[in-house]
Amino acid sequence: MTYRIDQSGTPATVFGNLFTIVSQDLGFGTDNVAGDATVQAVTYKKDPANTTATAQRVLDEVNDPGTVVATGLPSGTTIILHTDAGDTLFDITGNGVTFHDRLANVIRILYDTGQCNGSGIFTIGLDGHTHIPTPNPVVLYHEMSHAFHQLRGTVAATSALEEQAAETDENVMRDQLGLPERLTTDHTGGCGGGGSGGCLVVTAAYRSEVENPARWLHAVRGAMLPRYGLGGQLFSQAYAQYLEFSADIAASMRVDDELRATVRSLVVDPLLQVYAAAAARWLRTSVVQHAAGQLDRPMPAAVRHPALTPPAPELASAMAAILQSALTSPGSLHAHRDIPGAVRRVIPLIAAGSIGQLTRWALVEPLALYWELGAEGGDIAGRLPAAVAQRSADWLGRAPTLYGNPPSDPARLADDLRAVLVRMRLSDEEQIALSRRLVELHSRHVGYDLSAAIRQAGFVHVAHIEAQSISGPSSEGGAG
Ligand SMILES: [Zn+2]
């Protein structure tokens, strides 16, 4: 247990970043260090199903006899580094640094968790000129690569080669997060541009606000679905589709305040409301609260205090109509007449979201549910939990995909599914719907008895599912 989180600076962010680096593995946690209240020790009992390289790196550093201390610092902090070569004054803004602290005899990682006071940290993409986002977990993982080399005595001969090695590692983290890769021969980086990565539209919608709900969204997602196994595959496939259209729209929102406000009130805040209702239904907070410490992130005001004034009826009915079209005949979206200008402005976003099966299912359908309630008038937020409960099993049963590649080993699949039940409180009906969908999508492609593996994971009523999938009508058509 020799990886420590400094309790000064921004320890909760460091915890959250490490939790991201271990792919939201619930085996990750912290413990007190006897006689030293200034640090917490990282404890890590890796989930055997979690085979991500980044999780293995954390495990290696936790198990190494040398000590690494990670400190998150707000942008603008200036600090003296007690390096082996002497003392040096260092401004953390836009930076991460790893060095041997000669006074404490530890390897110290310091990094700017404030992302240049919110303006973002950029580095250079593979084309040699594009500024790409470099969010905190990427910065920390890069520094952990340097720390690892120091622990193992494998620091490269020149700083350029050492940077190249750290940037090669960094790209592994980037791949996992669905972020563009960095050019490993260009070590340029700094403040501004690049964006924060992640949910581009949500981030653009809240541009100027401290309380960016994208972080809350990531925390909830991470607590429910780890980035490996079933949850990881489902999310990365959906996220790849989302990235295809979100960058352009987010870019327009950054230069058009009216568009930004419109997308926020008609799309982003309503979606956050639906996701919050789903999270309240599914998330087993008692199990994940400690390990998923980043759930301490403040719930965004948009979710905590849903608008008390209901949307104008003509706006709500127009949104409901547009979304209905998006789900049934996306080609006809622009044919709608006499719709309010605000609604017209979000049509391109809705149209783009309804092209991909996964984004249609994960984004457009939940948004349609919200506006269906909106068109009925009254207290939308109050009625959302019941509406989500009523449709969730059907929705899960229509997942366009679940695994890109199901595990080739039935024990691994059972581990994966068990992990879902540990994190999510799924009703019997929801478990059956999910199991049935898994059987429909994958029973013919895995070389083992899929139903048996599902049963082994503890899902209910598997016998019933087998009966359905054998005698029931085939429903796989078109779902590939
Ligand atoms: Zn470096």
pLDDT one-digit tens code per residue, 146-163? 999 999 999 999 999 999
Ligand 1: centre distance to CA 139 (Å): 9
Ligand 1 center–CA 353 separation, angstroms: 37
* Confidence check: pLDDT of 91 > 50: yes
Alpha carbon of 454 to ligand 1 centroid (Å): 44
Please count the other Cβ atoms lying within 10 Å of the Cβ belonging to residue 471.
7
pLDDT (average), residues 347-372 = 93
Distance (Å) from CA 146 to ligand 1 centroid: 7
Reading the block at residue 176, the tokens are: 């996992």
What is the Å distance from ligand 1's center to 216 Cα?
28
Q: How many Å lie between the centroid of ligand 1 and the Cα of residue 157?
A: 14
Angstrom distance (rounded) from CA 93 to CA 86? 21
Ligand 1 centre to CA of 186 (Å) is: 11
The pLDDT > 70 percentage for the chain reads: 88
For residue 10, report the distance from its CA to the centre of ligand 1, in Å.
21
DSSP label at residue 307: -
What distance in angstroms lies between residue 143's CA and the mean position of ligand 1's atoms? 6
Ligand 1 centroid–CA 76 distance in Å is 19
How many angstroms does the Cα of residue 97 sit away from the middle of ligand 1?
A: 7
pLDDT digits (tens, 9 = 90+) for 271-310: 988 988 898 888 876 544 444 444 455 566 666 666 656 7
Instruction: Give percent helix, percent strand, percent coil of the chain, each to the nearest 5.
Output: 55, 15, 30
Compute, in angstroms, the gap from residue 175 CA to the centroid of ligand 1.
18
Q: What pLDDT was estimated at residue 73?
A: 96
Confidence of residue 49 (pLDDT cuts 50, 70, 90): confident
Q: DSSP 3-state assignment of 404?
A: coil
Q: Edge to edge, what strands does the sheet with 121-124 contain?
A: 131-133, 121-124, 189-191
Return all residues near 441 (Cβ < 8 A) that are at least 6 apart: 401, 402, 403, 476, 479
Helix axes 410-423, 229-255, angle to 10 degrees: 60
Question: What's residue 290's pLDDT?
Answer: 44
Nearest to 292 by CA among 223, 214, 232: 223
Sheet harboring 28-33: ordered strands across? 28-33, 36-44, 3-6, 68-73, 106-112, 96-101
Instruction: Tell how far the Cα of 28 is from the centroid of ligand 1, in angstroms.
Output: 25
Q: If you measure from the C-alpha of residue 212 to the centroid of ligand 1, how many angstroms do you get, rounded to a whole number?
A: 28
Q: What's the predicted TM-score (pTM) here?
A: 0.74
Pick the most confident of 182-191, 368-377, 422-431.
Answer: 368-377
pLDDT at 462 > cutoff 70: no
pLDDT of residue 249: 84
Q: Are 363 and 242 in contact (CB under 8 A)?
A: yes
Q: Using alpha carbons only, give the angle 252, 256, 259 rounded to the nearest 5 degrees.
A: 85
Query: Collapsing DSSP states into helix, strand and coil, what is residue 305?
Result: coil
Is residue 42 within 8 A of residue 1, CB to CB? The reply is yes
Task: Give me the mean pLDDT over the 4-15 stretch.
Answer: 93
Q: How close is the Cα of 72 to the center of ligand 1, in Å? A: 16
**Three-class SS string for 16-76?**
HHHHHHCCCCCCEEEEEECCEEEEEEEEECCCCCCCCHHHHHHHHHHHCCCCEEEEEECCC
Q: What is the mean pLDDT of the chain?
A: 85
Tokens found for residue 469: 């999938």
CA distances from 376 to 8, 59, 219, 266, 394 (A): 50, 52, 32, 16, 22
Average pLDDT in the 424-449 region?
Answer: 92
Question: Could you tell me the distance, in angstroms and rounded to a whole number, from the CA of residue 163 to the centre of ligand 1?
Answer: 5
Task: Establish how many alpha carbons lie within 13 A of residue 394's alpha carbon, considering only the half-sphere containing its beta carbon.
Answer: 7
112 Cα–ligand 1 center, Å: 13
pLDDT number for residue 389? 95
Please tell me the predicted confidence (pLDDT) of residue 397: 94
CA of 187 to the centre of ligand 1 (A): 8
Q: Does 470 score more than 50 pLDDT?
A: no
CA of 96 to the centre of ligand 1 (A): 7
Token pair of 474, please?
Answer: 């085939």
CA 404 to chain centre: 18
pLDDT at 237 over 90: no
Q: Check pLDDT > 90 for residue 193.
A: no
Q: What percent of the chain has pLDDT over 90?
A: 52
**Position 365 confidence tier, pLDDT thresholds 50, 70, 90:** very high
Structure tokens at 15: 């915890």
Take residue 77 and report the two structure tokens written for it. 């902090």
Decide which of 218 and 311 is more confident: 311
Tell me what pLDDT residue 95 has: 94
The tokens describing 328, both together, are 């049934």
How far, in Å, is the centroid of ligand 1 from the Cα of 19?
Answer: 21
Q: Are strands 68-73 and 3-6 parallel, antiparallel or unpaired?
A: parallel
Residues 89-98: what's their mean pLDDT?
94
Question: Model confidence over 101-144: pLDDT tens digits?
Answer: 999 999 999 999 988 887 788 899 999 888 888 999 999 999 99
DSSP tally for the chain: helices H, then strands E: 20, 11
Q: Say yes or no to pLDDT of 209 above 60.
A: no
Closest CA to 177 of 165, 195, 161: 195
Token pair, residue 221, equals 């997602």
**Segment 178-190, tens digit of pLDDT:** 888 999 999 888 8
The 3 state secondary structure assigned to 60-88 is: HHHHCCCCEEEEEECCCCEEEEEECCEEE
Cα distances (Å, whole numbers) of residue 417 to 21, 229, 460: 21, 8, 12
The enclosing H or E element of 6 equals strand 3-6
How open is the CA angle 474-433-321, to the nearest 5 degrees? 85
Angle among Cα 27, 30, 31 to the nearest 5 degrees reads: 125
| CA of 45 relative to ligand 1 center, distance in Å | 28
Residue 225 pLDDT class (50, 70, 90 cuts): confident
Predicted local distance difference test score (pLDDT) of residue 149: 97
Measured in Å, residue 159 CA sits from the centre of ligand 1 at 8
Taking the centre of ligand 1 as the mean of its atom positions, its distance from the CA of residue 269, in whole angstroms, is 38
Rounded Cα distance, 98 and 74, in Å: 17
pLDDT band at 445 (very low <50, low <70, confident <90, very high): confident
